[in-house]
Chains A and B, each alone.
Chain A
Amino acid sequence: MIGTIGLALNMDIVNGVMQGATLLGTEIKIPAITVDQFIVSVQAGLAIMLSTVGMFLALMATSTLFPQMLQKGSIDLLLCRPLPRWRILTARFAGGACIMAFNAAYLILGVWLVLGWKSGIWNRGFPLSAGLLIFAFVVLFSVVMLGSVITENGPVGLLTAFALFMFSPILAAHRQITPVLEKELYRKAFRFVYWVLPKSAETLGASRRLIMNQPMEIGWVLGTSLAFAVACYVVTVMYFTRKDY
């Protein structure tokens, strides 16, 4: 749909500066900016939309995968096969992650191609940002998996992931929050929580900086988030392989 909108976008560019644009024949008022700035702004706007609304929808769409698998009559048909249980769980997780990765890559690459073809601006940061978006999804999806498998209840996994996602902007502001905490114990606890929990807001914020060619240092952010996802996966596999169904 966004690709179609992109195809319906006509830009009036004079000496690299936007003079005007029409979308489906309707004129859009644009301040005097360069075409480069315009394209980057559109891509950053799309990235924000995918990071918020898109993330919520993706988690909702995939949250039923594990409860469906665990339903009586369904899990029996899987566990009675000569396959190790970890492979069954991993295949389910990989399947959900791949579906969302394909959708995100399809959308972002499609928009990138359409905008690049229309404007001649090929911002490499935009397609690369898909990787960060998919990474943030996979980390939260591991939480959905953990919650759903342990409680055998889809909404519990989904709400846990949503809670962590909503809490992540607070973690992202740790440099401002930590100094104002009264006691050293609170500051230590907050730092501990920061390093343990996934940093979705910072990961998705990094995707915007990548699009806008701004500097970023996210090695620790990605590393600790990945460690959290791996921990969720290991705990889920350990629980799933020992559980009687």
Chain B
Amino acid sequence: MTAAFEALSITKTFRPWFSTKAVRALDDLTLSVERGSIFGLLGPNGAGKTTLVKIALTIARPDSGHVRILGEPVRDRSILGRVGYLPENPRFPSHLTARQVLRLYGSLSGADEAALKRNSEIWLERVGLQQWADSRVVKFSKGMNERLALAQALVHDPDFVFLDEPTDGLDPMGRMEVRALCKELASTGKTIFINSHILAEIELICDRVALMKEGRIIECGSVGEVTKSAGGYEVMVPCAEGFPAWLQERRLPFTTVNGHFHIQVPDRNAANALIDALRQKNIEIEGLAVKRRTLESVFIERVRDL
């Protein structure tokens, strides 16, 4: 089965008018997303996340490389009828009602009238805007606007959905609903591609994540893989006299917790070497743990490192 999303060697440089300074937003970026998965794209501001999504939606054009969605190149645009998009800070024509917004954007995506009529009602109810269906969107709060934007991204029943900061402006209840919705959509075979700064949200719902910095993917894998690889190992031994000096000689960081030393080592080889050394000294090993970090700590470390 082909991937739901493939970006192949995408390069994009922005050259503002009247400026000699060019900004390379994407640098030979290659990325693939499996069908039916929830994929999270992370990165600091200016990493190129939104540029990648805009190139995928033909809102911007790459200097080189190409994007395929659901196996079809986006250049001919026809595939965009099967794609939903929730942009950051969406704006709708202020004179339209919520129902009219869904009908308008659904029809622009090529959905047929009968399906659109039915889906509009379903999604208005699903995002909690049924009682505001005939209210003009100019009266909507930021949270209501965000809910409506989510509904317009899904009203034409797309197979692939880009969500740019989907929980921005939502209360905790709304965030939980969005997470549940993403999981539900993925369970029906739809692919969800999320851009977000809220790493805890990504950690909770994404099957796979990619970290971006300066237009390149610096890490990609499942949340478990990404957090594990960066976490290292922790060996626990009982406190003993003279032992701290022994650890300091070997430059091994440790903490003391409840009468135990917790010694941190960066990888499996270092853990094995430490265990061998401890056994030679007849020191009992109380425990060994693979140290997992949060996505946020990995993100901060990786972004600082490069």
Contacts and interface: CB of A to CB of B under 8 A. Distances in A.
Co-assembled chains A and B: yes
Interface in B13-66: 14, 54, 57-61
A79 B57 contact: yes
B91 A245 contact: no
A73 B91 CA distance: 5
Interface of A: 68, 71-84, 242, 244-245
Contacts of A78: 108
B18 to A, nearest CB: 13
Contacts of B77: 82-84
B109 A81 contact: yes
Contact of B61 (A68, A82, A84, A244): A244
A244 B58 CA distance: 9
Contacts of B108: 78, 81, 83
A244 B80 contact: no
Interface residues of B, number: 26
B59 A71 contact: no
A82 B92 CA distance: 18
Interface in B112-157: 152
Q: Which 6 A-B pairs have the closest CB atoms?
A: A244-B60, A73-B91, A76-B87, A80-B57, A74-B91, A82-B80
Contact of A73 (B57, B90, B105, B110): B90
A240 to B, nearest CB: 12
B88 A77 contact: no
B68 to A, nearest CB: 15
A84 B75 CA distance: 11
Given A81-B110, A245-B54, 10 more contacts: A72-B91, A73-B89, A74-B91, A76-B54, A77-B152, A80-B87, A82-B79, A244-B59, A244-B60, A245-B60
B81 A82 contact: yes
A145 B211 CA distance: 41
B235 interface: no
A81 B83 CA distance: 8
A82 B89 contact: no
Contacts of A72: 89, 91
Contacts of A76: 54, 57, 59, 85, 87, 90
Contacts of A83: 77, 108
Contact of A81 (B80, B87, B89, B90): B80
Nearest to B90: A73
Nearest to A84: B77
A212 B237 CA distance: 106
A71 B91 CA distance: 8
B231 to A, nearest CB: 37
A79 B61 CA distance: 12
Contacts of B80: 80-82
A245 B83 CA distance: 18
Contacts of B92: 74, 77
A79 B80 CA distance: 10
A81 B105 CA distance: 8
B88 A79 contact: no
29 contacts: A68-B93, A71-B91, A72-B89, A73-B90, A73-B91, A74-B91, A74-B92, A76-B54, A76-B87, A77-B90, A77-B92, A77-B105, A79-B57, A80-B59, A81-B80, A81-B81, A81-B105, A81-B108, A82-B78, A82-B109, A82-B110, A83-B77, A83-B108, A242-B61, A244-B59, A244-B61, A245-B54, A245-B59, A245-B60
